[in-house]
């Protein structure tokens, strides 16, 4: 089993920035990818960004140029730096972990974090 602990969510004004962190623990595989999904009220859960151990990334078109995903393999931690935030970024953000070497074209998730609320005010 893999446990995911998220931090960094909160309330920010439009145009501001937040950084989310997610630390994985437990049965971490040498083959894995991590990332972030989000779900807004009335919307489907959608991929925001994902990253492999080797650094290959997959971003939603809506966040390209504004969000940056990174990871520290030694710490089994993934980060999401969110800049130029918009009200439409408001959602619960879920850390995700998958036993996969690929995040393109899709990221298959095996474990989910509990979610952290990001609210962007206009």
Report the pLDDT value the prediction gives residue 11, as an integer from 0 to 100.
Answer: 98
Query: Please, is 99 exposed, middle or buried when counting C-beta atoms within 10 Å of its C-beta (0-12, 13-18, 19+)?
Result: middle
Expressed in angstroms, the distance from the first to the final Cα of the chain is 40
Q: What count of other Cβ atoms lies within 10 Å of the Cβ of residue 106?
A: 12
Distance CA 122, CA 110 (A): 35
Peptide bond into 105 cis (omega under 30): yes
Distances (CA, A) of 66 to 19, 28, 45, 59, 86: 12, 29, 19, 10, 10
**DSSP state at residue 103:** -
**DSSP state at residue 85:** -
What the block records as the tokens of 106 is 């899709």
What number is the average pLDDT over the span 57-85? 98
Give 115's pLDDT tier (boundaries 50, 70, 90): very high
What number is the average pLDDT over the span 86-109? 97
Q: Please give the mean pLDDT across all residues of the chain.
A: 97
Report the pLDDT value the prediction gives residue 55, as an integer from 0 to 100.
Answer: 97
Report the pLDDT value the prediction gives residue 81, as an integer from 0 to 100.
Answer: 98
What number is the average pLDDT over the span 55-65? 98
If DSSP codes are grouped into helix, strand and coil, which group holds residue 61? Answer: helix
């Amino acid at each position: 089993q893999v446990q995911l602990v998220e931090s960094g969510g909160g309330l920010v004004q439009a145009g501001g920035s937040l950084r989310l962190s997610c630390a994985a623990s437990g049965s971490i595989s040498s083959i894995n990818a991590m990332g972030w999904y989000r779900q807004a009220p009335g919307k489907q859960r959608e991929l925001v960004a994902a990253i492999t151990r080797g650094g290959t990334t997959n971003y939603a078109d809506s966040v390209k140029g504004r969000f940056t995903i990174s990871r520290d393999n030694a710490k089994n931690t993934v980060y999401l730096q969110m800049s130029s935030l918009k009200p439409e970024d408001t959602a619960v953000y879920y850390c995700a972990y998958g036993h996969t070497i690929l995040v393109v074209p899709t990221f298959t998730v095996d474990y989910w974090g509990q979610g952290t609320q990001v609210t962007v005010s206009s």
